[in-house]
Chain A
Amino acid sequence: MGKNYLSYTMALILQALDNGYRYGFDVMTITGLPSGTVYPALRRLEDAGYVGSKWEKQSVAVTEQRPARKYYEVTKAGTKALTEARERFRLLAQLEFPQNLDPARQQG
């Protein structure tokens, strides 16, 4: 098992992040995975150095009267790991996430 080996679920989540779904809830909605799967996977990806996390701007959170959300971004190592995962999981390479679409609105 190589250093960049990812399971299918983690590769799916990484691909969702790579497609612009940066928040945990958005990843849950677009992948259909439950929160108990997505969040631990995000932690593992972050520990492995494949994603980095940041808090959104406090001004946005204050305006919307809620705590600041945490978002995740794919790192260079994560991009490399995702490329390798796409070679292993051919279906993942063909999967296209809709761009600039609010998944929660579609589901709601």
Chain B
Amino acid sequence: MKNSRLYLWLLRFIGLIVPHRLRSDWRQEWEAELQWREQQLAEWDKLDWRNKIDMLRHSAGAFLDALWLQPKRWEDEMMQDIRFGVRMLRKHKGFAFATVFTLALGISANKALFSIVKSVLFEDSDRPRDIRWRGGVTFRRGAAGLLDSGIACDAG
């Protein structure tokens, strides 16, 4: 009987990787099935070494089951973190407001600054590309929106 309980130790070991929330139900399910099988075999006087090894093999399948449950751990931890964050924000409303306000201010300032830089340096404006001086000298606006220094002067 001692050898047949190896599967219980194996289940306890494998159960360590099962998400905490699901662990007790998971262990109960596996242990119940294997103990039921052990009792059935004992009733039929068929609890020999072959069937014990077979039970150990079945209990090893619990590892794949535990692996399949791993995504539920990540969901659990993510939801736990989100709930914690919301709880903290509700608890410290002043800090939450200051944080949100600072973030909003920073993002909007950044956006405004970049809009100005973009319109001045990178985009074509509605201003005439060329600046004509009396006497027929023309200064051309380059691709970057800047006046080309000392070049492209057309006479006439």
Listed in ascending order, the chain A residues whose CB lies under 8 Å from chain B are 23-25, 28, 34-40, 43, 61, 64, 66-70, 104-105, 108
Contact = CB atoms under 8 A, between A and B. Distances in A.
B90 interface: no
Interface SS, A side: helix
B65 A35 contact: yes
B25 to A, nearest CB: 8
Interface size class of B (residues with CB under 8 A): 20 to 34
A69 B58 CA distance: 16
Nearest to B68: A40
A11 B73 CA distance: 27
Contacts of A69: 29, 32-33, 36
A39 B39 contact: no
Q: Which of B37, B39, B41, B62 has the most CB of A within 10 A?
A: B37
B51 interface: yes
B31 interface: yes
Contacts of A39: 61-62, 64-65, 68
A34 B61 contact: yes
Contacts of B59: 35
B59 to A, nearest CB: 8
Contacts of B37: 25, 104
A107 to B, nearest CB: 9
